[in-house]
Amino acid sequence: MADTTNRPSGMTRRDVFRASAGAAAVLGAAGLPVLATATPALADRGQAGHGHGRGLRVEPLVPDRNRGIILYSVRDRITAAPDDSGVPYGFERVLARLAEIGYREIEFAGYTQHTSLLGRQITPREIRRILDDNGLVANGTHTQINPDTFTQQMDIAEELGMRNIGTGSDPTNSSYRTDWDAAADTWNELGRRARARGLRLYTHNHDAAYNFLLDAGPTDADGRPTRSSGTRRLEYFFDKTDPRYVFFEMDVFWAYVARFKHHTYTDRHGRARTDLFDPILTVAPRTTRFPLFHAKDGNKNPAVPNGHDMVPLGEGDINFQQFFQTIGEQDFHHANWEQDNAPGGTAVPGQSLDFAARSYTSMSELTIYRR
């Protein structure tokens, strides 16, 4: 595994202006209307004036080998008992279908299926054989990151040929700096152990991870701060953890939910402050600390608590073209499609795999033009 470390770049909004689609990227990052996003190379096409696409080549923003899916999106079919719906069920049939769609990488969300398929539970070794038979690679997992069971989880990761080992939970749910300090100490040690075995340890965000710390101002009856310096929880964790040992998976949907929900705080003097969260500018200065992403799409809907409704990739408002183009390092990043509400239940048993196919097509259509 290549050694990757944090590469601070001091990226500013002017850099984003240059790196992506000119003013459109800056407007989009600021939450302002963007009518269209074109790449700089496309803009240059008219200046060249010599033939259709002359001097240009098209490259995928997410290389085909880096296109993945977290199995949580199709959990209904992984765990289904044999039925007569005609829809694949269990690891063997579902993974074969995902490979047929075009996915090349799998992020796990558990290692169990319905015991009626084998008369017992499937083993990690048997799952690895299914991966290999279908040309699939395990790129990560959402499991429990616990010092007491971490060796066992790394053993499973190695059995599956996994590159990264992680969790879908925050290192701590606390609003207080001391708890994030303690979590950082634990994660630095676990990350060091993971690196020694050729693995990267990562954590995945929901919106609360990008809420503000309570780290300033008057204290409560328990001596805890009641106001904020404006520092966000996970961004504080970035700086407290060793970039050699601790990595991140941004869930792009939940990052934009954080942008919607967590934009004001009370400073140490009791004044209301506004700070608009920017997912792109959170990743871009430290892009090689994010080997994985959840490519999860949503439509803006201020009437719902999260401000967005989940939809298949490419059918929502999130500008993934702008996102992946601006953060760069296309070969390093791995995108896993996820949609929490993809399963259709017994009424529509094929819905999650149908959404997986539609979302793969959208992921494959994200392209960049280069000279």
Q: Rounded CA gap, 194 and 238, in Å?
A: 18
Q: Which class for 27: exposed (0-12), middle (13-18), buried (19 or more C-beta within 10 A)?
A: middle
> According to the model, what pLDDT value does residue 55 have?
81
Is 333 a residue whose pLDDT tops 70?
A: yes
Residue 208 and residue 155 in contact, taking contact as beta carbons nearer than 8 Å: no
> According to the model, what pLDDT value does residue 43 have?
37
Q: Rounded CA gap, 76 and 68, in Å?
A: 18
> According to the model, what pLDDT value does residue 236 have?
98
For residues 118-140, average pLDDT: 98
Q: Where are the alpha helices (DSSP H) in the chain?
A: 13-19, 23-29, 40-48, 75-78, 90-101, 124-133, 150-159, 177-196, 233-240, 252-261, 279-283, 320-327, 351-364
Q: Looking up tokens 């084998």, which residue turns up?
A: 118
Is 65 a residue whose pLDDT tops 60?
A: yes
Q: What is the pLDDT of residues 40-59, one digit of tens each?
A: 333 333 344 445 667 888 89
> According to the model, what pLDDT value does residue 53 have?
63
Is 82 a residue whose pLDDT tops 70?
A: yes
Q: Rounded CA gap, 150 and 135, in Å?
A: 28
Determine which of 6-15, 57-66, 254-263, 325-334 has the lowest per-residue pLDDT on average: 6-15
For residues 162-177, average pLDDT: 97
Amino acid identity for residue 233 in this structure: R
> According to the model, what pLDDT value does residue 54 have?
74
Instruction: Identify which has the larger pLDDT, 257 or 49.
Output: 257
Question: Which DSSP symbol is given to 248?
Answer: E
> According to the model, what pLDDT value does residue 22 have?
43
Is 170 a residue whose pLDDT tops 90?
A: yes
Give the DSSP per-residue string, 179-215. Answer: HHHHHHHHHHHHHHHHHHTT-EEEEE--GGGGSBPB-
> According to the model, what pLDDT value does residue 240 have?
98
Domains assigned to the chain: 57-370 (3.20.20.150)
Q: What is the pTM of this model?
A: 0.87
| The pairing of beta strand 308-311 with beta strand 272-274 | unpaired
Confidence tier at 17 by pLDDT (50, 70, 90)? very low
Long-range own/partner contacts, residues 238-244 (CB < 8 A, 24 or more apart): 238/6, 238/286, 238/289, 240/180, 240/181, 240/184, 241/184, 241/187, 241/188, 241/191, 242/188, 242/191, 242/192, 243/5, 243/6, 243/286, 243/289, 244/3, 244/5, 244/191, 244/192, 244/195
Is 114 a residue whose pLDDT tops 90?
A: yes
Q: Rounded CA gap, 327 and 322, in Å?
A: 9
Q: Which residues pair with 26 in a beta bridge?
A: none
